Amino acid sequence: MKKKYILLFMILSITMPVCAEEKMENKKLTDLEKYVIENKGTEKPFTGKYNKHKEEGTYTCKRCDAPLYRSSDKFESDCGWPSFDDEIKGAVKRIPDADGRRTEIVCSNCDAHLGHVFFGEKYTSKDTRHCVNSVSMNFVPAKTEKRTETAVFASGCFWGTQYHFEKRDGVISTLAGYSGGTTENVTYEEVCEGTTGHAEVVKVVFDPSKVSYEELAKVYFNTHDPTQLNRQGPDIGTQYRSEIFYENEDQKRTAEKLIKILKDKGLNVVTVLSRSVKFWEAEKYHQSYYRKKGGTPYCHIYQNKF
């Protein structure tokens, strides 16, 4: 990614508004929760409220509310902590401990410490045990569970795209990544070569009862120039193309409607609509880039086009 202009624009940028992580930081945690979630501690065995919990539903992150585990993947291991043999896809990151003896698991959305993952114990057919602290989780019963949907957008450098979506009410989580190409387990360096066919994208998980797909699609069009072909500002290449990867026909129809509105206004929209395909999560240093740096995007400036 050619971002040699970034320093100049970062100097001119202003401090960003309240964002998702700041909301997380403002969330009240007890001393025990801070000890476990922020300082990577461990609650005492057999004391957690979800250790023997059997209700149907979804376990979510205590700090950011992102969905982590389904009750159908929970099993009894008698280890003293809640055990799961699988996670919701993309919800949990694995980080080897410095001593190489164990593998830590954290929330993919906010890096809250959850516990550790173990293999080879033969508890279930998946031969995996996520050993999770109860205090790292909340629980949403199936009968009151929120329905979530996913949207995938490409609009140039994913730093700027993610910046705007992670601040929106109703958005549960965002992930920068790559989609639309042919290479498996693609890396940033490979995408930069422009030979894999991938676009830089952001996967958005949202609560449709709080924000609609159409509202998010409008944010998408309002925060980049959909008339630029294979570029966005100084970033040039097919990986910076404008493309919507729709999850279903309703999303496709919504995108087509908005594109028609823009074309009727005289905009030569080049945004491509494609069926959603495999998403590859980008490297950690790309995630929430502007939040971490405390700046604002240099080529994703909000402009109401509708």
Q: Over the stretch 109-150, which tens digit does the pLDDT of each residue have?
A: 899 999 999 999 999 999 999 999 999 999 989 877 667 899
pLDDT for 32 equals: 95
Choosing from 64, 107, 110, 131, the catalytic residue is: 131
pLDDT at 101 over 60: yes
Distance from C-alpha of 258 to C-alpha of 24, rounded to nearest angstrom: 33
**Residues 103, 290, 64: CA angle, nearest 5 degrees:** 50
| pLDDT at residue 27, rounded to an integer | 62
pLDDT at 90 over 50: yes
pLDDT score recorded for residue 12: 32
Look at residue 283 and tell me whether its pLDDT is greater than 80: yes
- Domain 6-21+146-293 CATH (choose: 3.30.70.100, 3.30.200.210, 3.30.1060.10, 1.25.40.10): 3.30.1060.10
Helix 213-222 × helix 158-165 angle, to 10°? 130
Position 244 pLDDT exceeds 80: yes
Q: Is 110 a catalytic residue?
A: no
In the three-class reduction of DSSP (H, G, I as helix; E, B as strand; rest coil), residue 255 is classed as helix
How far apart, in whole angstroms, are the C-alpha atoms of residue 102 and residue 42?
A: 14
Among left, alpha and beta (phi > 0; psi -120 to 50; other), residue 46 is: left
What's the confidence (pLDDT) of residue 89? 86
Per the prediction, the chain carries an average pLDDT of 88
Tell whether the model's pLDDT for residue 282 goes beyond 60: yes
- Across the range 56-83, mean pLDDT stands at 94
Which CATH superfamily is 40-144 part of?
Peptide methionine sulfoxide reductase. (2.170.150.20)
Does residue 6 register a pLDDT over 70?
Answer: no
Instruction: Identify the band that residue 13 occupies on the pLDDT scale cut at 50, 70 and 90.
Output: very low
Is residue 9 scored above 60 in pLDDT?
no
Name the residue with higher pLDDT: 12 or 98.
Answer: 98
CA-closest candidate to residue 260, choices 251, 248, 269, 252:
269
Interatomic CA distance for residues 197 and 182, integer angstroms:
6
* Active-site option among 61, 107, 157, 299: 157
> Chain-centre distance of CA 44, in angstroms?
31
For the chain, which residues make up each domain, given as ranges? 6-21+146-293, 40-144
Indicate if the pLDDT at residue 22 is higher than 60. no
pLDDT digits (tens, 9 = 90+) for 218-233: 999 999 999 999 999 8
Residue 157 a catalytic site member: yes
